[in-house]
Amino acid sequence: MHGPSESFPLDESALGLLLEGPPRDDAGRIREILARARGLDGLDEADLPSLMALRDPALLAELFEAAKAVKEEIYGRRIVLFAPLYVSNLCGNECLYCAFRASNRELPRRALSQAEIAGEVRHLLRQGHKRVVLVAGEAYPQEGLDYVLKAVRTVYATREGAESIRRVNVNIAPLDVDGFRRLRDVEIGTYQLFQETYHRGTYARMHPAGLKADFDWRLGCMDRAMLAGIDDVGIGALFGLHDWRFELLAILRHARHLEARFGCGPHTISVPRIEPAAGSAASEAPPSAVTDADFRKLVAILRLAVPYTGLILSTRERPEIRREVFHLGISQISAGSRTNPGGYQAEDGTSAQFSLGDHRGLDEVVRDLAETGFIPSFCTSCYRMGRTGADFMDLAKPGEIKLHCEPNALSTLQEFAEDHAGPATRQAAEALVAASLAGMEEGARTRAEAMVARVRRGERDVFC
Ligand code: SF4
Ligand code: SF4
């Protein structure tokens, strides 16, 4: 049914064999892997089993140190912020872990009108957001894909005073190549889709009915998106459905496949952990729950394995865990999220997709990041400067993207501080901007100072 040119061949038994072999967990071997990873060349999949099996506290500390060093080398201290924008919870699928599944009759269903979407966007703009990921279940109102395309245009066109959303990423069900071309033409940023689990048997059990039951159609989705000319794609797995070690190997293989075929791997990898969802038993007792200790390890290993790929964490995680994994490699987070359509205006969580671990608003998250020394960033510059796909990777690989990330983080943080922050957050943000400028090397500081000064003089949307 699906042409080979649109597929990603995943050899499940080869991944299983890698996990079955005895991990070479001697200290010498681990240190050799970590030294190589610090060179920013990524890791081979044969390196992963040893790191995944690590238990020794001293070697684990070395793993975390290496992940932190790689993150700071490539991205600096910035953490990019975004908000999910759920436009519809209509869905024809039966994912056992999700409250939106078709047979959950308890859930109030709605697809927002374009006017309602604009209302949600204005709410996000008043909070200070500049970047959203638009999310919909897999059943659109009668217009089909046109509904989503209109929604993307609505988001870009909505204004609150002079402010607008500067980048719309999209997380919707897989399309064919023509569908992806239409999505590309409305100028989305990244197209995101998670395989949920790369293990075929677990996938079949978790997705018993609906279009999503077709494992291969989902697996080949990013090939189709990139064939259609979408440069930036985001992959991921829902951790907790199957052995996290298998998922990590499969994610790495997926990334390498895209890189080999299209000259550019995924722009982002997301690491959601399964969370309780109303009326969904599999979410209450995840089949392969990932402990906090393993979660820290998996983030650190991913950071080393694919150093140039953004790592995204959602508000599913509690603030304590979020803070810990920022150090280990996370580069983007959602903040102040609602996962029910219309949730920003209604403040009602009764039709949410899953429970959130972090309920704090954007202002509080920004303050917390600033006080812990991370630079909260609302930057959307790369996509708007045409630094996408392979062009982005060409900058990221020699470590040059940081020269853009940090000044942009500071100018957008200054903008947030002046336009949206409460008094305590403004104080923390401005102190961080000043300290960060003072700590920069001269060339970078001159450029960043000039950008921040333009914002202080009233200019907005200053980026490089
Ligand atoms: Fe539908 Fe997505 Fe939920 Fe599955 S995870 S039931 S496809 S909204
Ligand atoms: Fe992201 Fe590019 Fe901005 Fe860095 S400069 S935060 S990579 S958009």
Q: Residue 356: which residues within 8 A CB-CB, separation 6 or more?
A: 275, 315, 316, 337, 339
pLDDT at 375: 97
Q: Taking the CB of residue 364, how many other CB atoms lie within 10 A of it? A: 17
Residue 331 alpha carbon to ligand 2 centre in Å: 10
CB-based pocket (< 6 A), ligand 2: 78, 80, 377, 379-382, 401, 404-405, 408
Pocket test for ligand 1, best of 88, 89, 90, 100 (most atoms within 8 A of CB): 100
Distance 117 CA to ligand 1 centre (A): 20
Residue ranges of domains in the chain: 72-394, 400-456
Cβ-proximal residues to 210 (8 Å cutoff; 6+ apart), any chain = 91, 92, 93, 94, 102, 138
Degrees, nearest 5: CA angle 416-417-423: 135
What is residue 389's predicted lDDT score, i.e. its pLDDT?
Answer: 87
Q: Which residue has the tokens 């949920």?
A: 196
Q: What single DSSP character describes residue 82? A: E
Please tell me the predicted confidence (pLDDT) of residue 4.
46
CATH class (in words) of the domain with range 72-394: alpha beta
Place of tokens 């374009």: 114
pTM: 0.95
Per-residue pLDDT of the chain (464 residues; tens, 9 = 90+): 455 456 788 989 888 888 887 666 689 999 999 999 999 999 999 999 999 999 999 999 999 999 999 999 988 899 999 999 999 999 999 999 999 999 999 999 999 999 999 999 999 999 999 999 999 999 877 789 999 999 999 999 999 999 999 999 999 999 999 999 999 999 999 999 999 999 999 999 999 999 999 999 999 999 999 999 999 999 999 999 999 999 999 999 999 999 999 999 999 999 999 877 777 777 788 899 999 999 999 999 999 999 999 999 987 788 888 889 999 999 999 998 888 899 998 755 556 666 666 778 999 999 999 998 899 999 999 989 989 888 888 888 777 888 899 999 999 999 999 999 999 999 999 999 999 999 998 888 999 999 999 999 999 999 99
Size of the chain in residues = 464
Query: Quick one: which ligand is closest to 131's CA?
Result: 2
Please give the distance of CA 443 from its chain centroid, rounded to a whole number: 31
Beta-strand (E) ranges in 92-230? Answer: 131-136, 167-171, 191-192
Ligand whose nearest atom lies closest to the CA of 403: 2
Residue 409 makes CB contacts below 8 A (sequence gap 6+) with 76, 78, 80, 375, 376, 377, 379
Whether 93 is in the pocket of ligand 1, judged by its Cβ within 6 Å, is: yes
